[in-house]
Amino acid sequence: MTSCINHVTDEHGIVTITLNRPEAANALSRQLLSELKELLHGLSFETAIRCIVITGAGEKAFCAGADLRERATMNVTEVKQTVALIGECITSIEKLPHPVIASINGAAFGGGLELALACDIRIAAQGAKMGLTETSLGIIPGAGGTQRLPRLIGIPKAKELIYTARRISAIEAQDIGLVNVAVPDRNLSSETMNLAKEIAKNAPIALQQAKKAINQGMQTDISTGMKIEELCYGVTIPTKDRLEGLQAFKEKRQPVYKGE
């Protein structure tokens, strides 16, 4: 059976995960979800990882969302189980300790966009289209879309996009803050890797604690958020990487961080 998920790790500690069902617009089949869930669980414990990139195979789609052909063969119980599995996988992405970049190479609809929303940063090819299109199918976003999109772009605009099931361009997505940047299609891979390398050169423990402070702090009031930041900062103080950063600054050289 052909794998639905490919992943490679380069010399910089950057892991690239590719959704590998181009013949089905990289839709979220049960096999793909099971493979992705297993991979994410393993990666969550990998201390050598500096950054993770998620993209889709082919040039047409990042991820078209749920596999509707497969869904049509399911009974109600199976549908509920699959929807829960999609939510679990997407939440697992958000919970990864490492910085995660969604490299949106093509269409990202429904669960596909929800997957991208769970990443820390989104870079899109200018030719990509995206949207939470569930209401046009008689359902609602069920893998965090109704929660993550309003937090990202604001409640009124999120309601507009969800209520209309509108598909928008990468340029419009950039304008409203849904993606960080839209780049020419031919430059997507290089721009994604340039950003990943820029992140990967920094201290991994500091990156992980910064992510934790932001994600947890944004769910609470600012006073509590400041306390979370204080605790996360405290984790970095006894690290060898902090001392390496200071020494490298003193010696006017690039630091060599080891995640220790």
Q: Is 111 a catalytic residue?
A: yes
* CB-facing half-sphere around the CA of 118: CA atoms within 13 A: 25
Spatial distance between the Cα atoms of 101 and 122, rounded to a whole number of angstroms: 6
Residue 254 backbone dihedrals phi, psi, to 5 degrees: -75, 135
Out of 56, 65, 102, 114, pick the active-site residue.
Answer: 114
Do 14 and 193 meet the contact criterion of CB atoms below 8 Å apart?
A: yes
Strands, sheet with 168-169, edge to edge from the N-terminal-most edge strand: 61-63, 107-109, 129-131, 168-169
Q: Is 134 a catalytic residue?
A: yes
Residue 216, C-beta contacts closer than 8 angstroms, at least 6 positions apart: 225, 228
Out of 27, 110, 134, 200, pick the active-site residue.
Answer: 134
Q: Is 114 a catalytic residue?
A: yes
Q: Is 145 a catalytic residue?
A: no
Tokens 């090819």 belong to 125
Out of 111, 127, 142, 145, pick the active-site residue.
Answer: 111
Spatial distance between the Cα atoms of 189 and 106, rounded to a whole number of angstroms: 12
Would you name the residues annotated as active-site residues? Answer: 66, 111, 114, 134
